[in-house]
Amino acid sequence: MGDRSKSLFQKAKTYIPGGVNSPVRAGKAVGIDPPFISKANGCLLWDEDGNEYIDYVCSWGPMILGHSHPEVIQALEKALRNGTSYGAPTKLEVEMAEIIVKMFPSIEMVRMVNSGTEATMSAIRLARGFTGREKIIKFDGCYHGHADSLLVSAGSGVATLGIPGSPGIPRDLARHTISLPFNDKNGVDQAFEKFGPEIAAVIVEPVPGNMGVIVPHEDFLKRLREITREHGALLIFDEVISGFRVAPGGAQELYDIMPDITCLGKIIGGGLPVGAYGGNKEIMAGMAPEGDIYQAGTLSGNPLAMAAGLTILKILKRGEVYPELENKAQMLFSGLENAARNAGIPVTVNRIGSMGSLFFNNGPVNDFEDAKTSDAKLFRKYYRSMLDQGIYLAPSPFEASFLSTTHGEKEIRKTIEAAAVAFGSL
Ligand SMILES: *Cc1c(COP(=O)(O)O)cnc(C)c1O
């Protein structure tokens, strides 16, 4: 790494735990000191030392139209002149809610929050409040933010750092969370047989992206819908990544399955801190002040965040970007797969639309157990070689790569060439 990033990281570690405000960023899993980013445009990032990177992290998903999108900047500049926060209702919030309801098949009403974590945490409270039950089913390797009830066998940074759970979560709370293997219908059937009347909700990433990308079996998602209905439990789709990513109406549109509650984040904020959760009117009416399940936020529906998010959603709603993203992702991931094959490196590529992952194993990769067989040492070498060649990937074998509309053929070709060099050196 460059000298400026190195010295900033040293200083950061003095003042911030681990030097970062979100654990995976520290680069521990790949043994690097992270580059400190100073600016971004389109699909490119620059660090404090002036190095340029092609970005496949895309802020962990949000930047589907690339960084510094001119329409977003314009909307932000306009909103900024009217002040940054009022703590009072605004027209922008109503427009935002309306466009989400129009784009997401199962959402009739929506509440804005400030992060994906807040969205899932609130959705769980709503499900418990609505059903009067306490148990939650989740799936190994799925990450739903860092709320207490959901940080059990979680993916993302927890998986990257090999943390089995987290200290600080009361055992009395964790025991209400049941974590099962993804894509395993029988496991779900058995859990409902045993705990059926106690289960408030099943929460799932319908397209998991936090143990690397996993392709859901359609009959698995269908079974979740059926069995929750049979037992009076709610089905929560955590579409914080897949929402607006795999289709304009998320995984629920792609697989034609209507969850009871949907959690959104990432893309919805256009790069500002936003989350949301929504569902049908009957369920959402449980929330205060209409109902008595409490949830609130000083900065929720913030005008700058709404202006950025709304601008992005209006563009995505037209739908044109999805075939374009599909083509680009197809080109990138088939190119990576070929490069690996040519070098004799066994890889498994999982991809849905513009999100995908490369596992260093023989596959198939259908759940967290499979994902964990990816060769961490090979990934680490691959990662470092790619970074040295100006390709910025998520510094963990358990994360997705994301494309934006600003990734052009030139950048994709450059990425595949870099990968060929990296694979050749393994
Ligand atoms: C990122 C993510 C979250 C948490 O969102 P934050 O904004 O980081 O709190 C929740 N669920 C999924 C599926 C995510 O990918």
Look at residue 158 and tell me whether its pLDDT is greater than 90. Answer: no
Task: State pLDDT tens for residues 307-332.
Answer: 999 999 999 999 999 999 999 999 99
End-to-end CA distance of the chain: 21
Look at residue 223 and tell me whether its pLDDT is greater than 90. Answer: yes
Q: Return the ligand 1 atom nearest residue 142 CA.
A: 13
348, 372 Cβ separation under 8 angstroms = no
* Closest to 270 measured CA to CA, from 241, 313, 231, 210: 313
Q: How many Cα atoms within 13 Å fall on the side-chain side of residue 219? A: 4
Class at the top of the CATH hierarchy for domain 3-66+320-425: alpha beta
Distance, CA of 72 to chain centre: 21
Return the active site residues: 143, 238, 266
Look at residue 159 and tell me whether its pLDDT is greater than 80. Answer: no
Q: Residue 162's pLDDT is what?
A: 61
233, 200 Cβ separation under 8 angstroms = yes
Q: Return the ligand 1 atom nearest residue 242 CA.
A: 13
Q: Specify the residue for token string 């739903």.
A: 144
For all residues of the chain together, what is the average pLDDT? 96
Q: Residue 154's pLDDT is what?
A: 76
368, 211 Cβ separation under 8 angstroms = yes
Q: Return the ligand 1 atom nearest residue 239 CA.
A: 13
Return left, alpha or beta for 266; rule: phi > 0 is left, psi -120 to 50 is alpha, else beta. left
| 50: three-class secondary structure by DSSP | coil
Burial class from Cβ neighbours inside 10 Å (0-12, 13-18, 19+) for residue 292 reads: exposed
Q: Residue 19's pLDDT is what?
A: 97
State the Cα angle at 282 between 257 and 255, rounded to 5°.
Answer: 5
Look at residue 155 and tell me whether its pLDDT is greater than 80. Answer: no
Q: Residue 105's pLDDT is what?
A: 92
Pocket test for ligand 1, best of 115, 213, 240 (most atoms within 8 A of CB): 240
158, 142 Cβ separation under 8 angstroms = no
| 74: three-class secondary structure by DSSP | helix
Task: State pLDDT tens for residues 22-43.
Answer: 999 999 999 999 999 999 999 9
Pick the CATH number of 70-317 from 3.40.80.10, 3.40.640.10, 3.40.1160.10, 3.90.1170.50: 3.40.640.10
CA-based R_g, the chain, Å = 21
Q: Residue 74's pLDDT is what?
A: 98
For 86-132, give the DSSP string.
-SS--HHHHHHHHHHHHH-TT-SEEEEESSHHHHHHHHHHHHHHHHS
Q: Residue 164's pLDDT is what?
A: 59
* Closest to 136 measured CA to CA, from 111, 171, 173: 173
Task: Please list the residues that pair with 293 across neighbouring strands.
Answer: 287
Distance, CA of 94 to chain centre: 25
Pocket test for ligand 1, best of 151, 210, 263, 399 (most atoms within 8 A of CB): 210
Task: State pLDDT tens for residues 168-190.
Answer: 888 888 889 999 999 999 999 99
Task: Please list the residues that pair with 42 across neighbouring strands.
Answer: 67
Q: Residue 384's pLDDT is what?
A: 97
If you measure from the C-alpha of residue 268 to the centroid of ligand 1, how many angstroms do you get, rounded to a whole number?
12
* Segment (H or E) for 12: helix 3-15
Look at residue 421 and tell me whether its pLDDT is greater than 90. Answer: yes
284, 108 Cβ separation under 8 angstroms = yes
CA distance 210 to 300: 25
> Would the pTM of this model clear 0.85, i.e. be above it?
yes
- Which protein residue's CA is at the shortest distance from atom 14 of ligand 1? 240
Residues across the chain:
426
Q: Residue 151's pLDDT is what?
A: 85
Task: Please list the residues that pair with 243 across neighbouring strands.
Answer: 247
If you measure from the C-alpha of residue 402 to the centroid of ligand 1, how many angstroms do you get, rounded to a whole number?
15
Q: Residue 172's pLDDT is what?
A: 85
Q: Residue 390's pLDDT is what?
A: 98
Q: Return the ligand 1 atom nearest residue 145 CA.
A: 4
User: Judging by DSSP bridges, how do beta strands 401-402 and 355-359 pair with one another?
Assistant: antiparallel
Mean pLDDT value across residues 66-79: 98
Peptide bond preceding 289 in cis form (omega within 30 of 0): yes
Local confidence band at 233 (pLDDT 50, 70, 90 cut-offs): very high
Local confidence band at 375 (pLDDT 50, 70, 90 cut-offs): very high
Task: State pLDDT tens for residues 252-306.
Answer: 999 999 999 999 999 999 999 999 999 999 999 999 999 999 999 999 999 999 9
377, 23 Cβ separation under 8 angstroms = no
Q: Residue 153's pLDDT is what?
A: 77
If you measure from the C-alpha of residue 265 to the centroid of ligand 1, how many angstroms do you get, rounded to a whole number?
7
* Domain residue extents for the chain: 3-66+320-425, 70-317
If you measure from the C-alpha of residue 276 to the centroid of ligand 1, how many angstroms do you get, rounded to a whole number?
11
If you measure from the C-alpha of residue 167 to the centroid of ligand 1, how many angstroms do you get, rounded to a whole number?
20
31, 392 Cβ separation under 8 angstroms = no
Mean pLDDT value across residues 397-409: 97
CA distance 146 to 207: 19
Q: Which stretch of 174-178, 227-231, 339-343, 382-386 has the lowest confidence by average pLDDT?
A: 174-178
CA distance 138 to 135: 10
Q: In what order do the strands lie in the sheet with 44-47?
A: 37-41, 44-47, 52-55, 391-392
List, chain by chain if needed, residues with CB within 6 Å of any ligand 1 atom: 115-117, 120, 143-145, 205, 209-210, 238, 240-241, 265, 275
Return left, alpha or beta for 378; rule: phi > 0 is left, psi -120 to 50 is alpha, else beta. alpha
Q: Residue 99's pLDDT is what?
A: 98
